[in-house]
Amino acid sequence: MDNTASKPKGSDLKRFVRYYKPHIGLFLTDMACALFISAVDIVYPLISRHVLYDYLQADSPRFAPFFMLMALCFLMYVLRTGATFIVTYLGHSLGVSIEADMRRDAFSHLQKLGFSFYDKSRTGKLLSRCTNDLFDVTELAHHGPEDVFISVVTFIGAFIAMLFIEWRLALVLVISVPIMMGFVMKLRKQMSLTSRKVKEGTAIINADIESSISGARVAKAFTNEDYEIEKFEKGNGIFIKYKRAYYKTMGLFHAGMEFFTSIMNVLVLTASGLLMMQKKMDFTTLVVFLLYVSSFTTPIRKLAQFSEQYTMGMAGFKRFTELLDTEPDIADKEGAAELTNVKGNIEFDHISFSYDEANGHNLTGDKVLHDLSLSIKAGETVALVGPSGGGKTTICHLLPRFYEIQEGRITIDDHDIRDVTLASLRRNIGIVQQDVFLFAASVKDNIRYGKIDATDEEIVRAAIAAEIHDDIMKMPNGYDTIVGERGIMLSGGQKQRVSIARIFLKNPPILILDEATSALDSATEARITAAFERLSRGRTTLVIAHRLSTVRNADKIAVIDEHGIVEMGSHDELLKIDGEYKKLHDAQNSFYLIK
């Protein structure tokens, strides 16, 4: 995915740490409990040493203080158990909260990105960045600071205690630590690389699954199920390859860590044997020291696990920040004004546009629109007709700034649309598109999308105006009927009319109707066309149509082909010219007569 360069936002680690700020109370509680757990682990061997030397000597055992100390140890471990519960529960809650904050930021940022971003991004890969990539981040957010904190405190505390018990054995352990850390750092970079590839492999699988599910009906229609399975297996094979590479590195890492921590015990026992042979150390000191060896090696194991966790978590966080660092190609300029009291005078002033340039590619292909000019007065209905690929839909996408023009300017009531806020611009424009999208929700919720705070009465009035009310009342649950994924439970005509009801509800001063009646039968089309004519009164309306019968009453009809606007006038005026419009008109009439 191409990322637009943006101003530096700090290192990934600093950005990661910022997500703890809203949850600082939870974090400090977690760390306090972690500190208590470490303190108990450090203190217990010292208590054991004190008991062995002072209370359990064979010549003068002291039972009363011994049992009091054992009761204290029992209480310590009861409290440690409670602290462990808090660390596990609150720590994971902290991780989930941070994950939710990150997912919110990712989703909010996706809402800001323009059409050109989605033109070059696969849905499954975006979904992976908002879900799978953040799962490992959750574990890192919880276990990362906690494990590092406990490990460092326990490691330092155990080392200091060992220095006091037998400094020569402590030095034997410390000498082996730099060698082990060098091994860790060498493999960590390789683990980071393979971990990132695993994330990419997961994204490929998600994208393939999303594409296959969305196109399941097409696959069945062409009996291409085996092809879809074969295509998925390729992506699955890539994932397995990356995962095996990661596990190979992880296997080397864990095997190496087990070797070093086990060798530490061997080194201590060897050195202890030498000291005891020389009568420089007694058996009690050896027992207590071996207790601390466990306290010394456990943090090392935890740090090793943290290294693996950090690698996976930061690989996911890196992909997350890449998404956040993708700058919207269309955004409000500084000081952008609100577009209010819109009358609807629209001016396309010598505009030029290319999708290649909009998507950030410097290609030399022809522009979709070149030096096009079009004036629309407030309240006028202007129809755009002509062959496919001439730029009709593009013109309608440029008005609400779904894409940015490369040359010229577009104005509404003499306001350059680049000088007003996107929200106010799009709030004043209603669009019924050729490709209808309905959410997997109720009919009511899909209509209400045109005006989120609309009352049920307003929704019903909009449905009546769109000629869909009677159909809704025949549905199993009326307005509460679930339409299914992308409105699959509705017919094409019903989906189109639900989308039209949205616009009746929104009631904007400017309308864009992009083949809005394309999926309707002739009788319903006639009713909807009449409804649109009522809605268009006093409003500026752009109509894209292939069936010329739907636009014959437009105030102006612009015939557009690859060269731009070749003819303009009313229906009757264009027929008299005997040009491109008349050819289209005669061709359609001949087609319907043949039918």
Type of residue found at 451: K
pLDDT digits (tens, 9 = 90+) for 220-229: 666 667 777 7
- pLDDT of 515: 76
By percentage, how much of the chain surpasses pLDDT 90?
A: 1
Residues 387 and 311 in one domain: no
pLDDT at residue 8 tops 50:
no
pLDDT digits (tens, 9 = 90+) for 410-438: 998 888 888 888 888 888 888 887 777 78
User: What's the average model confidence in pLDDT over 443-467?
Assistant: 86
- pLDDT of 124: 67
Tokens of 444: 């009511």
pLDDT at residue 454 tops 70:
yes
Q: How confident is the model at residue 594 (pLDDT cuts 50, 70, 90)?
A: very low
Residues 188 and 114 in one domain: yes
Whether 478 is in a domain gets the answer no
Residues 165 and 48 in one domain: yes
Whether 516 is in a domain gets the answer no
Beta strand extents in 362-476 (DSSP E only): 369-376, 381-385, 407-412, 415-416, 429-432
- pLDDT of 574: 84
Whether 230 is in a domain gets the answer yes
User: What's the average model confidence in pLDDT over 511-521?
Assistant: 72
Whether 116 is in a domain gets the answer yes
C-beta separation of 125 from 298 below 8 A: no
Residues 301 and 358 in one domain: no
- pLDDT of 357: 61
Residues 282 and 217 in one domain: yes
CATH of the domain at 595: 3.40.50.300
- pLDDT of 3: 42
- Gap between the Cα atoms of 271 and 341, Å rounded: 88
* Residue at a domain's end among 279, 295, 324: 324
- pLDDT of 507: 83
Residues 88 and 119 in one domain: yes
Query: Phi and psi at residue 557, in whole multiples of 5°?
Result: -125, 125
pLDDT digits (tens, 9 = 90+) for 12-70: 778 888 888 888 888 888 888 888 888 888 787 777 777 776 766 656 666 777 788 88
Count of domains observed in the chain: 2
Whether 502 is in a domain gets the answer no
User: Strand order in 564-569's β-sheet?
Assistant: 429-432, 510-514, 540-544, 381-385, 556-561, 564-569
- pLDDT of 103: 84
Q: How confident is the model at residue 102 (pLDDT cuts 50, 70, 90)?
A: confident
Whether 467 is in a domain gets the answer no
User: What's the average model confidence in pLDDT over 472-488?
Assistant: 83
Whether 538 is in a domain gets the answer no
- By mean pLDDT, which of 110-114, 214-218, 291-295, 398-402 is the weakest? 214-218
Instruction: Using the structure block, give the residue that is written with the tokens 């296959």.
Output: 212
Residues 248 and 314 in one domain: yes
Residues 268 and 384 in one domain: no
* Residue at a domain's end among 324, 354, 383: 324
DSSP at 387: S
Which has the higher per-residue pLDDT, 364 or 327?
327
pLDDT at residue 362 tops 50:
no
**Domain housing 267:** 12-324
* Residue at a domain's end among 324, 356, 372: 324
Helix (H, G, I), strand (E, B) or coil at 442: strand
CATH of the domain at 56: 1.20.1560.10
C-beta separation of 320 from 100 below 8 A: no
pLDDT at residue 361 tops 60:
no
- Gap between the Cα atoms of 503 and 448, Å rounded: 10
By percentage, how much of the chain surpasses pLDDT 70?
A: 84
Residues 117 and 50 in one domain: yes
Q: Tell me the DSSP string of 257-313.
A: HHHHHHHHHHHHHHHHHHHHHTTSS-HHHHHHHHHHHHHHHHHHHHHHHHHHHHHHH
pLDDT at residue 240 tops 70:
yes
- pLDDT of 593: 43
- pLDDT of 483: 81
pLDDT digits (tens, 9 = 90+) for 319-339: 788 888 878 777 888 888 888
- pLDDT of 56: 66
- Residue 102, sorted as left (phi over 0), alpha (psi -120 to 50) or beta, turns out to be alpha
- Gap between the Cα atoms of 579 and 550, Å rounded: 19
pLDDT at residue 380 tops 60:
yes
- Gap between the Cα atoms of 382 and 569, Å rounded: 9
pLDDT digits (tens, 9 = 90+) for 284-307: 777 777 777 777 777 777 777 777
Which has the higher per-residue pLDDT, 212 or 461?
461
Let me know how long the chain is.
Answer: 595
Alpha helices in 325-421 (DSSP H): 355-358, 392-398
Q: How confident is the model at residue 10 (pLDDT cuts 50, 70, 90)?
A: low
Residues 227 and 376 in one domain: no
pTM exceeds 0.85 for this model: no
- pLDDT of 7: 41
Q: How confident is the model at residue 358 (pLDDT cuts 50, 70, 90)?
A: low
Residues 139 and 262 in one domain: yes
pLDDT at residue 84 tops 80:
yes
Residues 230 and 345 in one domain: no
Q: How confident is the model at residue 174 (pLDDT cuts 50, 70, 90)?
A: confident
- pLDDT of 237: 79
Beta strand extents in 251-293 (DSSP E only): none
Q: What is the rounded average pLDDT for all residues in the chain?
A: 78
Whether 436 is in a domain gets the answer no
